[in-house]
Amino acid sequence: MSRFIGCWAVLVATSPVGAAEYDIVVYGGTASGAVAAIQAARMGKSVALLEPGQHIGGLTSGGLGWTDSGDKRVIGGISREFYQRVKKYYDDPNVWIHEKREDYKFYRKDEDAMWTFEPKVAEKILRDMLQEVKVKIVFGQRLDRAKGVKLDGRRIVSITMESGQSFTGKMYIDATYEGDLMAAAGVSYTVGREANKQYGETLNGVARKWNTHLHRFVVNVDPYVKPGDSTSGLLFGIDPNPLPADGEADQRLQAYCFRMCMTDVPANRVPFEKPADYDEKKYELLFRNFEAGDLRIPLKIDRMPNGKTDTNNNCAVSTDFIGQNYAYPDASYTERDKIIAAHLSYQKGLMWSLQNHPRVPEKVRTQLAKWGLAKDEFTDTGHWPHQLYIREARRMVSDYVITERDCRRLRDTPQSVGMGSYNMDSHNCARYITPAGFVQNEGDVQVSPGGPYRISYKSIVPKTGECPNLLVPVCVSSSHIAYGSIRMEPVFMILGQSAATAACLALDDKVDVQSVNYDKLRRRLLADQQVLEFATAPRPDTVDPKKLPGIVVDDPDADRTGFDTVSTSIGPFVGIGYRHDGNTNRGKQSAQFVPNLPAAGQYEVRVAYTAHPNRATRVPVRVTFAGGNQTITINQQKKPPIDGLWMSLGTFEFEKGTQGRVQITNDGADGFVVIDAVQWLAVK
């Protein structure tokens, strides 16, 4: 796990542990690592928590105060205890220095937990929790990744730091964002995006077609150094390498950024300064985007207590340093430090530009002029976060890989050790040139799983035959798109507690982590208030197309132009969700459903959709049958009469094979047009 250079000092250990053996060694002082150490200590085990930097909490204390929690009802155990302690802290009116408690809209007196907080408060709470159970924290210890993991066969015997200090444990937990201990121990892992076909997914791989959200260019921006001249070279930040086809694999990563803690309280504000290495060329896309007419404020500014913020990426050109992190997961510490420094320089220059550069519209500069960094946060790192947002690095490959199918509950995920519920969320991975010759972002996917889902114990332990005394609660065994949902700090804390519980039980029963008795593990997790199932999860309305009678063509199998946005917001629906046209590009989006009918004859044709007041009342559906065609207009604001899902279009004569079809378009529609599935039922 790398830390910063420049104003960040990588220090030697301040609390030497010596040669004592520990029951459990946790590497990585992220929130997940802190919770793992707390749980192990509460279960009576000796534990050492090794943190390469100088802070506890990772992103939880590193600026990410806007908790991406999904359904908060499935956040239990120590994870929920942390947020309950946040609430208890802010219950005290004396801690509200820069604003009144009653003026902060996210403080709710009657709730048991609070989900927004200042960075220094998060770290204080985690340190207090660790101190209460007397966990030994050792700062400034970075794993010797080349030769620091001593193995007996595949079992870790000890780990040695770059300082030369060794730590011996019976069990190990890798709670880093990078998976450094996991990789050094020879555990299988992957980096990048899998192809959809690898795990039977729909949202993985290259994702031009999902580019329908906020974080894209909404105006035409020329990509060349000299506008219109392709021989002049590409502007900074545009990938010269061609993207594979949509849905295909590549090694690109979703972008990283710093989650800045800003404030508009003058007494606590530090102005943004122009960095010494400021390079105007790095912001040419920003300037051209404004000049092309996109006047959106390219920051997501969420209010934290005491007049502070959690500031995230937003719009076309923002804090995400797209395409500049591909080498990070497997890079040396030196190379990682360079990557981190480049991110820091870029973001410093971005903020200075947004407030000062004459090519930024005056309206934007004026709106952002009031902001600066919080003076009382990150006081040892120049008021910039101590942790870069490593949204994704290595991911373990184990006997069970969590995929989109788990997130959507399309298979029975075994041995639950916690639940996720947030969107399958990938930030952009690349910038490329469109066929029309303009720049565009690629990789942004934000699709709801439709409710809470289980995370398997098998996804936090190495595959059978690999490291039998290591658990990995952060770089879990997961596909890229499923990790986009799992990678939320409350979930990492949940998995940290479950990993530590399993490590303790493995020690007690003298078994490998792959052989822990799940029934025993489950009982202990439930006793410790972990949430492993969610009986009221709202997806009994998902219909498996393979279990339906007749011939069914679901929306992923339709021949589409447009209809790229997948949703699960409203049920019932067939398969993994339905698609809609985004209420845009009227007359330019269509979907053709083609069955392979086993015999000629008469078939009743039904079309599936979910009704809602924002739907179109005039949706043209064209049925092509033997000897003709017919167009039927559907009102998608009205609930379908058959099981609340199906609308019959009538009975038609069809030939055998693939001659028939149903085409749905948004031509002349007056609202959102939804496509889901079409069913052919033989009439006897």
pLDDT in tens, 619-630: 999 999 998 999
Give the model confidence (pLDDT) of 263-275 as tens digits: 999 999 999 999 9
Percent over 90 (pLDDT), the chain:
87
| 353: enclosing H helix or E strand | helix 333-356
Is pLDDT above 50 for 170? yes
Q: For position 570, what pLDDT does the model report? A: 81
Single-letter residue type at 396: M
Q: For position 566, what pLDDT does the model report? A: 75
- Residues of the chain within CATH 3.50.50.60 domain(s) are 21-192+393-406+448-527
Tokens 């796990």 belong to residue = 1
What average pLDDT does this structure show over 191-210?
94
- Whether the CA torsion 564, 570, 575, 576 is positive or negative: it is positive
Query: Residue 198, class by beta-carbon neighbours within 10 Å (0-12 exposed, 13-18 middle, 19+ buried)?
Result: middle
Q: How far apart are alpha carbons 457 and 461 in whole angstroms?
A: 7
| 319: enclosing H helix or E strand | none
Is pLDDT above 50 for 528? yes
DSSP 94: G
Q: How far is CA 136 from the centre of its chain?
A: 31
What are the residues whose beta carbons fall under 8 Å from the beta carbon of 547, sequence distance 6 or more?
none
Q: Quickly list H helices, 145-272.
A: 180-184, 196-199
- Residues of the chain within CATH 2.60.120.260 domain(s) are 542-682
Q: For position 540, what pLDDT does the model report? A: 54
Is pLDDT above 80 for 527? yes
Using DSSP's 3-state secondary structure scheme, residue 13 falls into coil
Backbone angles phi, psi at 207, to 5 degrees: -140, 50
Give the model confidence (pLDDT) of 451-494 as tens digits: 899 999 999 999 999 999 999 999 999 999 999 999 999 999 99
What average pLDDT does this structure show over 415-438?
96
pLDDT tier at 1 (50, 70, 90 boundaries)? very low
CA separation, residue 401 to residues 252, 253, 517, 518 (Å): 19, 18, 20, 18
What average pLDDT does this structure show over 498-505?
98
* Polymer length of the chain: 684
What average pLDDT does this structure show over 15-33?
82
Q: For position 535, what pLDDT does the model report? A: 62
Q: How far apart are alpha carbons 623 and 351 in whole angstroms?
A: 55
What are the residues whose beta carbons fall under 8 Å from the beta carbon of 650, sequence distance 6 or more?
604, 605, 623, 630, 632
Q: How far apart are alpha carbons 633 and 620 in whole angstroms?
A: 5
CA separation, residue 524 to residues 4, 47, 417, 492 (Å): 39, 19, 11, 18
Q: For position 9, what pLDDT does the model report? A: 32
Is pLDDT above 60 for 257? yes
Q: How far apart are alpha carbons 129 and 137 in whole angstroms?
A: 12
**Angle between helix 119-132 and helix 77-91 axes, rounded to 10 deg:** 120
What's the whole-number average pLDDT of the chain? 93
Q: How far apart are alpha carbons 29 and 382 in whole angstroms?
A: 21
Single-letter residue type at 635: N
pTM: predicted TM-score of the whole model, two decimal places = 0.80
Q: For position 255, what pLDDT does the model report? A: 98
Pick the residue with more confidence: 18 or 254? 254
Backbone angles phi, psi at 650, to 5 degrees: 120, -175
What average pLDDT does this structure show over 380-384?
97
Give the model confidence (pLDDT) of 553-606 as tens digits: 999 899 999 887 777 778 889 987 889 988 888 999 999 999 999 999 999 999
Q: For position 616, what pLDDT does the model report? A: 95
What average pLDDT does this structure show over 540-563?
88
Percent over 70 (pLDDT), the chain:
96
Closest alpha carbon to 36 in 21, 25, 22: 25
Single-letter residue type at 554: D
Is pLDDT above 60 for 16? no
Q: Encoding tokens for residue 586?
A: 């009227």
Q: For position 654, what pLDDT does the model report? A: 97
Single-letter residue type at 265: V
Q: Which fold has domain 542-682?
A: Jelly Rolls (2.60.120)
Residue range 21-192+393-406+448-527, CATH number: 3.50.50.60
Question: Would you tell me how many other CB atoms lie within 10 Å of the CB of residue 312?
Answer: 22
Is pLDDT above 60 for 537? no
Decide: 392 and 480 in contact? Cβ < 8 Å.
Answer: yes
What average pLDDT does this structure show over 135-160?
96
Pick the residue with more confidence: 208 or 117? 117
pLDDT tier at 172 (50, 70, 90 boundaries)? very high
Q: How far apart are alpha carbons 224 and 388 in whole angstroms?
A: 30
CA separation, residue 230 to residues 208, 239, 283, 437 (Å): 22, 14, 19, 9
Q: How far apart are alpha carbons 648 and 641 in whole angstroms?
A: 8
What are the residues whose beta carbons fall under 8 Å from the beta carbon of 259, sequence distance 6 or more?
59, 62, 63, 64, 65, 310, 311, 312, 385, 389
Lowest mean per-residue pLDDT among 67-81, 146-160, 220-234: 67-81
